[in-house]
Amino acid sequence: MAKPFTCIFSFFATLIFLPLLPIYAQSSGKIAVGQSLSAATNASPWLSPSGDFAFGFHQLPTNSNLFLLAIWYAKIPDTIVWYANDGNPVREGSKVTLTADKGLVLSDPQASSLLWSTSDDFSNGNGVSYGFMSDTGNLVLKNSSSNDPVWQSFNHPTDTLLPTQIMEINGVVNSRLSENNFRKGRFQLRLIPNGNLVLNTRDRASGYNYGAYYISGTNERPNTGHRLIYNESGYMYVLRTDGSTYDLLPQNKTNPTKSYYQRATLNFDGVLMWYSIPKTSISNGWSMDQALPDNVCTSIGASGPQLGSGICGFNSICVLGDDKRPTCKCPPGYSLLDSNDTYGSCKPDFKADGCVEYAQRSMKNEYRLERLPSTNWPFSDYEKLGPYNEDDCKMSCLTDCFCAAVAFQDSNSPICWKKKAPLSYGRQDTKVRETTWIKVGNVNFSNDPLNTFVPLFPPKAKNKVKSLDKFLLGGSVFVNLVLLSAISLGIFLIYHKKPLKEFEEGQRKKLREYNSNVHCFSYQELTDATKGFTEELGRGAFGVVYRGMISTVGPPICVAVKKLDRISHDADKEFRTEVNGIGQTHHRNLVRLVGFCKEGDQRLLVYEYMSNGTLANYLFGELRPSWVARIQITLGIARGLLYLHEECSTQIIHCDIKPQNILLDDNHNARIADFGLAKLLVLNQTHTNTAIRGTKGYVAPEWFRNKPVTVKVDVYSFGVLLLEIICCRRSVCMEFIEEEGAILTDWAFDCYQSNTLDSLVNNDMEALNDWQRLKRFFMVSLWCIQEDPSLRPTMKMVMQMLEGLAEVPKPPCPTMLSITTTNTKPLG
């Protein structure tokens, strides 16, 4: 009787516990070779035995289609402590597999491209027998024949250190780029060879380390620091060679690890912070135990003059919050260079013309000084004056074209420091003894570069008119003349009242048809502004561009007047539609339309003037622009096209994207020109004498095949332009030494296939040192120039891939797609 009962019990036990076996195996922490995980919503990760830590694909809160291969606290929402693939997220369907020869291998959804693996960091030549996700948060790969790990995540920290973790000499912790961007940021924690633990900024493009803003002082010989230890009790210190310690997080500030989760994270704003949270009440969130340095705004640069911009960008001011975290703000008269980067640089909202006729402009009160108490940019000084009183100090800056700001310290011997642009390491704090006066434009311009309201008289002129009135009224002869003139004018107006009224009503009706954001000029006004159209800036598909000066409320502003001579003058309705469309666009990467003229057979457009000319001149000149500058220009053009295609009120297809139609402003920001004009071009006056709109070398194939023209024609042109920016050469170069390199698009794909991309950039070490981005940009360009428009990504997808927020799959050959890529999945 007992035997049947035993069998029944075993049967039901099997039914009950069989579903729990995978969970038990998963939570044991051990990972067998051949196991894999896929990036998907609600996918199960590999857990540590206690379930405290998880390894797998963490879905990004800002984009549900992207996943980060990472380690995180499984019980605490969105607390990532380690990440792979240089912080680059991957798309849904990507897979990570534990292999014997390469360890962890990350591949794209098609499994056609290896994105990342641990094999490059193996500490010995042995293969991998198994993996283990430990309760300390350390992911370990081991070989059964050796006690030492083949690879472990603790040896390759990202932005966080955990209890039991050790950092040796030359160890580095890098901050994130931003709260939700896990790529390497500007800040580092390093244990350098002399034994000091330091916090420093770095140049992201080159990786060059700037001076430290925190130094532990553990470099005294012979007992120098040689190891950073974060022990299991939560006590962190630098261990010296004689066994003594230098406390970073003292024992009296630590919480026991048995009762608390702990971590030390180098935040994206440069502050190293220790956090803890009770294991029994994780809903309360993390508490900050200590911050290093105590005040990052004033500590940075404390070791002496520094390169770089500081915690915030150039011309910005760092202010410490109550939470020991910095915030950045632009001074009066300045605004963010990139509105999406609140920790970035600030640009002046006024036109800074340097020293050209500065004395005359200064006499016209073109500039004023804004007071900033307890504020300083200490490493931007170029001249020290003293003893000076405050008024003399301010005047010395106003009369000096090189002076961007001036700091005054009122002491027994008052001192004045004059500062040059760009201003760096700005800070505002009660401990700052100086008061700084920053130079800004004296006219409060609106966002519209041309204020259409022009007062009848400037203030000084009004005073002169009042004096003149008194003088005229004082003489009877002049009074009689004025009265006689008034009577004559009245008779004239009564006689011509009806024609004038009809004329004015007609003009008002015409102007009402146009967007109120743009100004209507008369032809004579633009003739005067351009001095009779004498100073030519360039020629394009639509006509000739001239330089001009237009008077507004403040000083005259420089404009570019485009005299259209290749459009149909009969298309009044189309001209009005396009001008209205252009006038409604507002984006920092588009050249703004200031006004227009439609008088008789004349059609003119007035744009803001771009001082640094075209991208073509900048890109193909004798000196190669820096890689960093080219990156910013690329991203600016992409943002501008994305706006035209998807974000402005009416979709605009440019149809002629090329270097000549990209202009550069004072700060070398890219601005797209000539958008919205394609429909106005007379078809028999295009470059190819066909119905094709565009320029040879940049024209998408569908123009030649009577296929529908969509925004994808701009994507194609952008792909060609991106290759030109990367390589600093024209897309078609028949005098090229090697015949196969004459057509850049063909040569680029050949180099990509043969893995010789370095030959394309012609030993540009700055670009080659940024290899991952360089390769990513190449791959994006190859996707953009696909013959089949459906395979080209949208500009939104292009933007995500360029910024590293989306994976770039391996691109197919751009040509002969009907034969070779019938199964290729379109992007975007």
pLDDT at 128 over 50: yes
More confident residue, 188 or 4: 188
| CA 444/CA 366 separation, integer angstroms | 11
> What pLDDT does 94 receive?
93
pLDDT at 482 over 50: no
> What pLDDT does 218 receive?
93
397-421 per-position pLDDT tens digit: 988 889 999 999 887 778 899 999 9
> What pLDDT does 575 receive?
77
> Angle at CA 811, nearest 5°, toward 721 and 88?
90
Domain 513-609 in CATH 3.30.200.20? The answer is yes
> What pLDDT does 56 receive?
97
pLDDT-based confidence at residue 556 (cuts at 50, 70, 90): confident
Comparing CA positions, the residue from 203, 334, 349 lying closest to residue 766 is: 203
pLDDT at 594 over 70: yes
List CB contacts of 20: < 8 A, sequence separation 6 or more: none
Is residue 664 exposed (0-12), middle (13-18) or buried (19+ Cβ within 10 Å)? buried
Q: Checking DSSP bridges between strand 415-419 and strand 405-409, what pairing results, if any?
A: antiparallel
Would you state the structure tokens that stand for residue 524, as one six-digit string? Answer: 């004579």
> What pLDDT does 249 receive?
79
Would you state the structure tokens that stand for residue 257, as one six-digit string? Answer: 């690890």
563 assigned binding-site residue: yes
Would you state the structure tokens that stand for residue 644, as one six-digit string? Answer: 């035209």
Alpha helices in 75-187, H assignment, sequence order: none
The sign of the torsion formed by the CA atoms of 645, 647, 650, 654 equals negative
> What pLDDT does 724 receive?
93
What secondary structure letter does DSSP report for 676? T
| CA 738/CA 717 separation, integer angstroms | 24
- The percentage of residues in the chain with a pLDDT greater than 70, rounded to a whole number, is 79
Q: Residues 123, 150: contact at Cβ < 8 Å?
A: yes
Q: Indicate if 656 belongs to the active site.
A: yes
H or E, element range at 647: none
More confident residue, 57 or 124: 57
pLDDT at 226 over 80: yes
Given the residues 52, 656, 665, 674, the one annotated as active site:
656
Would you state the structure tokens that stand for residue 25, as one six-digit string? Answer: 């195996």
> What pLDDT does 112 receive?
65
List CB contacts of 388: < 8 A, sequence separation 6 or more: 396, 408, 414, 415, 416
Q: Under CATH, what is the fold of the domain 25-156?
A: Agglutinin, subunit A (2.90.10)
The model carries a pTM of 0.55
- In this structure, which CATH number among 1.10.510.10, 3.30.465.10, 2.30.42.10, 3.20.20.150 belongs to the domain 615-820? 1.10.510.10
> What pLDDT does 172 receive?
96
> What pLDDT does 828 receive?
56
Average pLDDT over residues 317-344: 91
| CA 311/CA 185 separation, integer angstroms | 11
Look at 88-97, 180-189, 348-357, 819-828 and tell me which has the smallest mean pLDDT: 819-828
CATH class of 159-293: mainly beta
φ and ψ of 103, to 5 deg: 70, -135
131-150 per-position pLDDT tens digit: 999 999 999 999 887 778 89
The pLDDT mean for the chain works out to 80
Look at 49-63, 339-353, 511-525 and tell me which has the smallest mean pLDDT: 511-525
- Label residues 733-770 b or e (16+ Cβ within 10 Å = b): beeeeeeebeebbebbbebbeeeebeebbeebebbeeb
| CA 117/CA 104 separation, integer angstroms | 5
Specify which of 515-519, 688-692, 731-735 reaches the highest per-range mean pLDDT: 731-735
> What pLDDT does 160 receive?
98
pLDDT at 614 over 80: yes
Average pLDDT over residues 432-455: 61
Average pLDDT over residues 627-633: 92
Q: If DSSP states are collapsed to H, E and C, what string results for 428-448?
A: ECCCCCCEEEEEEECCCCCCC
> What pLDDT does 9 receive?
40
List CB contacts of 234: < 8 A, sequence separation 6 or more: 163, 249, 254, 255, 256, 257, 260, 262, 276
Q: Which amino acid is at 586?
A: H
> What pLDDT does 12 receive?
41
Average pLDDT over residues 354-378: 82
> Angle at CA 445, nearest 5°, toward 441 and 447?
130
Q: Residues 140, 132: contact at Cβ < 8 Å?
A: yes
Average pLDDT over residues 95-122: 87
What secondary structure letter does DSSP report for 13? H
> Angle at CA 96, nearest 5°, toward 775 and 173?
65
CA distances for 695 relative to 198, 360, 590, angstroms: 53, 44, 20
Specify which of 441-455, 625-639, 812-826 reaches the highest per-range mean pLDDT: 625-639
Helix axes 476-495, 497-512, angle to 10 degrees: 70
H or E, element range at 662: strand 662-664
416-440 per-position pLDDT tens digit: 999 999 999 999 999 898 999 999 9
Long-range contacts from 788-791, C-beta under 8 angstroms, 24+ separation: 788/817, 788/818, 788/821, 789/700, 789/702, 789/707, 789/710, 789/712, 789/713, 789/716, 790/712, 790/826, 791/817, 791/821, 791/824, 791/826, 791/827
pLDDT at 679 over 90: no
- In this structure, which CATH number among 2.40.50.90, 3.50.4.10, 2.60.40.10, 3.30.1490.20 belongs to the domain 317-441? 3.50.4.10
> What pLDDT does 169 receive?
94
More confident residue, 573 or 71: 71
CA distances for 727 relative to 96, 443, 696, 748, angstroms: 34, 42, 19, 10
Comparing CA positions, the residue from 143, 137, 132, 142 lying closest to residue 156 is: 137
Average pLDDT over residues 446-451: 36
pLDDT-based confidence at residue 543 (cuts at 50, 70, 90): confident
Average pLDDT over residues 33-40: 94
More confident residue, 821 or 356: 356
H or E, element range at 66: strand 63-73
> Angle at CA 593, nearest 5°, toward 357 and 525?
60
pLDDT-based confidence at residue 455 (cuts at 50, 70, 90): very low
Q: Residues 85, 120: contact at Cβ < 8 Å?
A: no
Q: Which amino acid is at 49?
A: P
Residue limits of CATH 2.90.10.10 in the chain: 25-156, 159-293
Residue limits of CATH 3.30.200.20 in the chain: 513-609
Residue limits of CATH 3.50.4.10 in the chain: 317-441
Q: 3-state class of 572 per DSSP?
A: helix
